[in-house]
Amino acid sequence: MSGGGPAVRVSIESTCEKQVQEVSLDGMETYVPPLSMSQNLAKLAQRIDFGQGSESDEEGIEAEPKDPQDWGKTEAEEDEATVKFQPSLWPWDSVRNNLRSSLTEMCVLYDVLSVVKEKKYMALDPVSQDPSAGKTPQVFQLISKKKSLATAAQLLLKGAEKLSKSVAENQENRRQRDFNSELLRLRSQWKLRKVGDKILGDLSYRSAGSLFPHPGTFEVIKNTDIDLDKKLPEDYCPLNVQIPSDLEGSAYIKVSIQKQAPDIGDLGTVNLFRRQLKAKAGTQPWHVKLEAAQNVLLCKEIFAQLSREAVQIKSQIPHIVVKNQIISQPFPGLQLSISLCHSTGEKKNHRASPEKPKPDDHLYVLEHNLHQLMREFHKQTLSSIVMPHPASAPFGHKRQRMAGPMAYDKAEISSMQQNEGLLEKIIKQAKHIFLRSRTARTIDSLASRIEDPQIQAHWSNINDVYESSVKVLITSQGYEQICKSIQLQLNIGVEQIRVVHRDGRVISLSHQEQELQDFLLSQMSQHQIHAVQQLAKVMGWHVLSFSNHVGLGSVESIGNASAITVASSNGEYAISVRNGPESGCKVLVQFPRSQSKELPKSDVIQDAKWNHLRGPYKEVHWSRMEGRNFVYKMELLMASLTPCL
């Protein structure tokens, strides 16, 4: 320390003041025994708050006022330390150390202050402090939170933008539909190949076995005539197909049977009204177009085959081929017309509406059958029967290859070949359909016209293209169990009807409508007589005579008349019935002689027993007889003639 003055001797002695514990009555002071070092330490140590952090990091300026505290603390700490490590140190060592350190610090402080005051070596400038650093921590938190939220928000916005962009792109894609993906879809259903820089396809049936020379190639082109600014139409497709010009539009084959046209002038002008093709929702426009073109091609092939056969095959009545129509005569008075109706679609207005009121006599079944027959023909060319074994042999039917080694003659070879063409098959089918519908009409008209014997027809569900069958039953109402002798099985073929009777007779009827009608009428009249026969059995009457084809009486123009005679159980009465399809029924009753009045008395017959025999006949007014049908009336008649017992 600078400064004058004599050195002052500092003597230090501890205050020996001891606390008075007690003053006894005789004035003696009992002092509290001074604390020993360890006790003192303990006392001081108790005062130390070890929880409070040491503030030795602070500036030296602030350190000074706290020095005595520090002093105590450090002393305590040092004491502790000295207690731990060096128990036999000078007790005032710590005090001396502390003093020395404080002196050092004071010197330093003084030096710093003097340097700063002189402003020769160092100058202090105020540092602009961040107001926010000094501000309260809450604002800082707010600012930091704001920043972090802003970053998070930016990330989310970026993600949302990406999502919305992809959604928009998807929609764009769905509408725009990439050309390549569309091409892939096209390729999965149609045959395509690349020729140069063009994509060509094949829509013909050649790979399925057809031998039609039409190439059937279509071209795939990119649809570039779109305006990107305008909204794309709903059915926009980036791919377009160009089909050959002769396959455009739609076509079908119309098969119909009509009465023979009176004049030949209006042939070839068949109505070509367009049949709307219903496209399934979701199918591409190119698919619809290609399918329609393929259908047109198949119809053309069918018609070409039919017309070729119509010209080449010799038949009794030649077929007429005019423009797009083939006409043939299956039955006299009838005309079968097969026509190819191809409408290209542009001439919509020309579709004549006067055709509409005409009933649709289009036989759809035959059109379908034509398609099927054509496809079967295709399949035949592809069947493995054609493949040669050994492999070097030419293609051809397996059987025909055997013709050489097995030495077939001409008859065998011709029998091996297919002699029925498409046209013949269709004509046969048409004939059968017509015959079947006419038979049904005949039976139905008879059934509705005639009530007394009822006629029932049970058509078989399972038919052939060339054959159908129907079972016809003739019964009387109320007596179905008794009178069921007339049951006919009709097998309707292509040109004739074969009838199998219950009793075993087989009759062939031609296609004439009248023949069937006449036959059924004759069967109905026979049924009445058969019914009487059955009834007699039930009623107990005896059948005296029965004939299906009676030779007496007037000649019937349809069939023959039948007759029966029955006698009552006691023989007194007899009933004779004659029934003919045209002449109707005639019933006569024979009475016993005793009841008739007009018999003259004769000398020859004298015995009374002869009066019991049957005598003259009397006709019954059948129309005035009570009963709803013939058999019922007959039953009543029989009942009335049977005596009550």
Partner 1 sequence: MEAPPVSVMPVTGGTINMMEYLLQGSVLDQALESLLHRLRGLCDNMEPEIFADHELVYLLKGQQGNPFLLRARRSLSHPAAPWHLRYLGQPEVGDKSRHALVRNCVDVAASHSLPDFLNEMGFRMDHEFVAKGHIFRRGALKVVVSKLSRVLVPGNTENTEPLSLSSLVELSVLAPAGQDTVSEDMRSFAEQLKPLVHLEKIDPKRHM
Residues that bind partner 1 (CB under 8 A): 193, 206-209, 211, 382-384, 386-395, 398, 401-406
Closest distance between partner 1 and the C-beta of residue 258, in Å? 40
How far apart, in whole angstroms, are the C-alpha atoms of residue 67 and residue 110?
17
| Shortest spacing between CB 394 and partner 1, in angstroms | 5
| Contacts of 431 by beta carbon, 8 Å cutoff, 6+ apart | 330, 331, 494, 495, 511
Q: Of 386 and 440, which CB lies nearer to partner 1 in the complex structure?
A: 386
Which region, left, alpha or beta, applies to residue 429 given φ > 0 means left and ψ of -120 to 50 means alpha?
A: alpha
Min. distance of Cβ 388 from partner 1 in angstroms?
7
Closest CB to partner 1 among residues 129, 384? 384
Is 44 or 403 the residue whose CB approaches partner 1 more closely?
A: 403
Looking at the Cβ atoms of 262 and 390, the one nearer to partner 1 is 390
User: Residue 583 in 3-state DSSP?
Assistant: coil
Residue 396 Cβ vs partner 1, minimum distance, rounded to whole Å = 9
Tell me whether residue 288 or residue 403 sits nearer to partner 1 (CB atom).
403
3-state SS assignment for residue 586: strand
The residues pairing with 198 across neighbouring beta strands, listed in sequence order, are 195
Give the Cα separation of 642 and 172 in Å (integer): 99
Neighbours of 296 (CB within 10 A): 24
First to last CA, the chain: 178
Q: Are the CB atoms for 499 and 489 separated by under 8 Å?
A: yes
If the CB atoms of residues 264 and 393 are measured against partner 1, the closer one turns out to be 393
Shortest distance in whole angstroms from residue 203 CB to partner 1: 15
Tokens of 407: 């030495």
Q: Residue 518: is it exposed, middle or buried by C-beta count within 10 angstroms (0-12/13-18/19+)?
A: middle
* Beta carbons within 10 angstroms of residue 14's beta carbon: 6
Q: Which is nearer to partner 1, 147 or 198 (CB)?
A: 198
Shortest distance in whole angstroms from residue 373 CB to partner 1: 19
The residues with which 322 forms a beta bridge, in sequence order, are 325
Return d(Cα 635, Cα 631) in angstroms, integer: 6
Smallest gap from Cβ 510 to partner 1, in A, equals 46
Nearer Cβ to partner 1, position 275 or 398? 398
CA angle 572, 575, 580 (to 5 degrees): 170
The C-alpha angle 64, 70, 73, rounded to 5 degrees, equals 175
Residue with structure tokens 């003097």? 114
User: Looking at beta carbons only, is 200 or 450 nearer to partner 1?
Assistant: 200
Least separation in angstroms between CB 170 and partner 1: 34
User: Do residues 498 and 506 lie in contact, with contact meaning Cβ atoms separated by under 8 Å?
Assistant: yes
Least spacing, CB of residue 183 vs partner 1, in Å: 18
